Amino acid sequence: MSRINQKPFTPILPPVDKRPASRYFGASSVEHLIRDQFTISTWLCLGAVAQGSLFLLFGRLALLPAMVVLLYRALDHYAMATGWKRNIYMDDVLLKKFSAQFPTEEGEYGNKPAKDGVVVLHIGTRSNHPLGLLAPGFKQTGEYFQQMAVNLDAHAEEFGYLGMSGYLNVNDRSSKSELLNIAYFRTTEGLHRFAHSEYHMSAWNWWNKTIRSHPHISIFHEIFEAPKGHWENIYINSHVSGINSTVHKVLNDEGQETYTFPVVDASRGLLKTSAGRMSRSDAKEHDGLRDHDVYER
C-alpha cells in the first residue's frame, strides 16, 4: 500500500504547557455517584416527603420553589432546542470526524495510522452493600484509587501512562452501579512497573489485609495489548473521551516540553475507513458512498 501522496495527519487540538489531569472518578464525580446511590422511585419518595413537610409548614407557598425551578428548566431547554440560546450540551463537541493517532516525541503525527502499540487497562469497583458508597471500606477503596491516579499523572513518563477516562455501568442494576476507569499505557512493561511500584503496592497490601472483612467490595481489571496496526477508533461530532483523552509529552520547535493530544482530522485519507485506520488498506473501499460526503471538510 503506497503512501507517497499521503499527507501527515492534521491535529485538531492545540498543545498545552501543563499536563491535564486524568478524567477518572474523583472529586468532580461526587454528584453523579451520590445520585446513583438511590433508585428513581426512592428519589421521588424523598422529594415527596420533603415537599409534603414544607406544605405542612408553609401551605401552598411551599409549591412555589418547585414550580419555579421546573418552569425555568422547561423554558431553558426549549430555548436551547429551538436555537434561542446556546446549547450547553454541545459544549466541547468537535463537529468533525476525528480519530486518535499518537504523535512522536517531536510532535509529528506522520501519515501511518496505528503506527504504535497501545495497552488498555479496564479497572473498576462496585459496592455490593445496601449502604453503597457508605459501606465499610469503600471510602478507603476510592481514596486509594484516586491516589494511584494522581501518582500516575505525576509519573506518567516513568510508566508510559497516557491517560484515563471514567464511566458508570448502569445496565446491571438500577442503583449502586459499577465504576469503571479505562486507562491507556504505551507498553505492558510500563503498566507492570507501576503495578509493582510503591504507588500501587500500598493499595494492594491494604486490600489483601481487608478483603476478608469486606466481601461486599468488588474490584476487577482487564488488560488488552494491541500491537501497532491492530487498533483503530473513530469519533463523529463527539467530545474528547476515551483514547482521544490521552496526553503525550512532546518537544515544540523551540525544544521546550509541551503536552499534546492525539486528536486528528479523519475526514479524508487513510483515516476514512476501519481498515485504513489499521494500516491494512488504502482506505478506498468506501469510495462512492455518499453518506461519507458530509464529513469531507
Per residue in 131-154, pLDDT (tens digit) is 999 999 999 999 999 999 999 999
pLDDT more than 90, % of the chain: 74
Is the pLDDT at 290 greater than 70? The verdict is no
pLDDT at 289: 65
pLDDT more than 70, % of the chain: 94
User: How confident is residue 282, by pLDDT bands cut at 50, 70 and 90?
Assistant: confident
Contact (CB, 8 A) for 244 and 262: yes
Is the pLDDT at 297 greater than 70? The verdict is no
81 three-class SS: helix
pLDDT at 2: 47
CA torsion, ordered 208, 210, 213, 219, to nearest 10 deg? -70
Q: How many angstroms separate the CA atoms of 40 and 157, rounded?
A: 43
Residues 6+ apart with CB under 8 A from 144: 202, 203, 206, 207
Is the pLDDT at 296 greater than 60? The verdict is no
The tens digit of pLDDT for each residue in 231-258 reads 999 999 999 999 999 999 998 777 788 9
Q: Where are the beta strands (DSSP E) in the chain?
A: 93-100, 118-127, 161-169, 178-185, 217-226, 235-239, 248-251, 257-260, 263-265
265 three-class SS: strand
If you average pLDDT over residues 109-114, what whole number do you get?
94
Is the pLDDT at 294 greater than 50? The verdict is no
Residues 6+ apart with CB under 8 A from 40: 174
Q: Write down the mean pLDDT value for the chain.
A: 90
Residue 73's CB is within 10 A of a number of other CB atoms, namely 10
If you average pLDDT over residues 1-14, what whole number do you get?
76
> H-type helices in 96-159, by residue range?
138-154, 156-159
